[in-house]
Amino acid sequence: MVRLLRERPFYGHFILNLRRELRPLDGKAAGVTVRDGIPILAVDPGYFEALQPAQQRALLEHLVKHLLHLHPLRRKGRNRHDWDICCDLAINPGITDLPDDALFPKNYDAPDGQAAEEYYERLVPPFDTGNLDGSGYGDADRSERVAAGDGKGTESATTLDSHELWSEADSTPLLLAEETVRAITRDSLRGSDGETPAELRTVVEALLRPPLIPWRQILRQFIATAGRTGRKSSWMREHRRFEHTTPGVRKRRRLNLLVGIDVSDSTNSADLREAFAGELLRIAAGRDASVTVLYANSRIQRITTFNSAPGVVECYDGGGFTDLRPVFDYAKTMHPLPAAVIYLTDGIGPAPETMEFPTLWVLTAAGEKPAPWGVELRMEI
């Protein structure tokens, strides 16, 4: 990461914005995914340290490209193995010093510069694929699917990084993941003084175009990925071990949410606050919900709570300057802990350096994201 920050600053700052985990990856050195709206970088230290420094740098660039192209979230409805291969074919050209087992389009007699969907259409037979979790289509007519060159076919090929993690991305709606990656991309550009690597310029420009997504939709999708998983007994579901001698277990999702509202002068707009509060009430009304609302400037001024029953979020005018830390300090004292934090603010004020709670920064039109963590949403009325 230090080498990337020095030599390829955009990539380095992008990696710094990911939550990092150490875990076994079935023989792979690293992998990325998006879990509950949070981009994750997973590393297996033993395999990663076995790579040469240049190969480590190349692998991290490879992982950043997967996230910029949202590959983990675009494979639904396709054969997983072959989609994974096609994603590697789409991003590997242009990356130098990749390990020897990296796949390139030339291995399949295909041109460089195509999207994963284009490689998938070119390489995958257009007939019934059966089980989408499989890794190929049997032995019939294999010669028709193995390209010229080194003779690699998709059924025997493997990806450079771990794509098993990509199944975790099913918990995140595509539009929410796109907004998350967009926020990380903005932070990476700020950290690299606006310098975009030439090979990423097209995808970064497309990602940073003003989204045509209503802010309400992003807010709903973020909340949909939150919620606490509970359990309750049910005779309608058979117990896995004891059949009907004991009731089964049914999972129950409960929304336990903490909402911070900046009451300093910068967010003193009745239309803004009323629209935000109204949307929260509509979302909570359709869920088993418990929502705690903190009105804060440099300290917490008022605390209110409501649930899925009809209610009203009061308006509170506080003025003063903003300190974003008290809301997160309060979150750590709650029992049960909140599944997520949503903060309506202009973002101008000190914030914690790190945060374990999934956070949605709902910023005013002229606001600034106050921390590298969390998802950024701009609310314009």
- Radius of gyration of the chain from its Cα atoms, rounded to whole angstroms: 23
Cβ-based neighbour number of residue 239 at 10 Å: 15
- Tallying the residues shown for the chain, one arrives at 381
Eight-class DSSP state of 334: -
The reply to whether 163 and 184 lie within a common domain is yes
Which of 17-26, 77-86, 202-211 is least confident? 202-211
Q: What is the mean pLDDT of the chain?
A: 81
Q: Which segments within 180-275 are labelled E, that is strand?
A: 228-239, 243-262
The reply to whether 244 and 171 lie within a common domain is no
The side-by-side arrangement of strands in the sheet containing 30-35 is 19-22, 38-43, 30-35
19-38 pLDDT, tens digit per residue, is: 999 999 989 999 999 998 89
Long-range own/partner contacts, residues 148-152 (CB < 8 A, 24 or more apart): 148/109, 149/106, 149/107, 149/108, 149/109, 150/107, 152/103, 152/107, 152/108
The percentage of the chain sitting over the pLDDT mark of 70, rounded to a whole number, equals 78
The reply to whether 154 and 37 lie within a common domain is yes
The reply to whether 229 and 354 lie within a common domain is yes
The reply to whether 243 and 355 lie within a common domain is yes
Domain end point (choices 192, 208, 224): 208
The reply to whether 228 and 190 lie within a common domain is no
The reply to whether 288 and 176 lie within a common domain is no
The token pair that represents 297 in the structure block? 């400037």
Contact (Cβ atoms closer than 8 angstroms) between residue 123 and residue 144: no
- Taking CA atoms, 115 is separated from 36, 102, 213, 310, in Å, by 26, 17, 23, 48
Q: What is the pLDDT of residue 235?
A: 46
Q: What is the pLDDT of residue 204?
A: 93
Long-range own/partner contacts, residues 196-201 (CB < 8 A, 24 or more apart): 196/10, 197/8, 197/10, 197/11, 199/94, 200/10, 200/65, 200/68
112-134 pLDDT, tens digit per residue, is: 999 999 999 888 876 444 544 55
The reply to whether 70 and 195 lie within a common domain is yes
Q: How far apart are the first and last CA of the chain?
A: 40
339-355 pLDDT, tens digit per residue, is: 889 999 989 999 999 99
The reply to whether 191 and 331 lie within a common domain is no
Count of structural domains within the chain? 2
Q: What is the pLDDT of residue 154?
A: 55
The reply to whether 364 and 330 lie within a common domain is yes
Domain end point (choices 177, 208, 239): 208
Q: What is the pLDDT of residue 250?
A: 53
Domain end point (choices 162, 191, 208): 208
Domain harbouring 222, CATH code: 3.40.50
User: What is d(CA 375, CA 381) in angstroms, rounded to the nearest whole number?
Assistant: 19
Which tops the pLDDT comparison, 83 or 367? 83
Domain that holds residue 308: 215-378
Contact (Cβ atoms closer than 8 angstroms) between residue 314 and residue 341: no
Q: What is the pLDDT of residue 137?
A: 44
The reply to whether 183 and 259 lie within a common domain is no
Confidence of residue 12 (pLDDT cuts 50, 70, 90): very high
- How many whole angstroms from its chain centre is CA 18? 9
Q: Is the pLDDT of residue 64 over 50?
A: yes
The reply to whether 259 and 357 lie within a common domain is yes
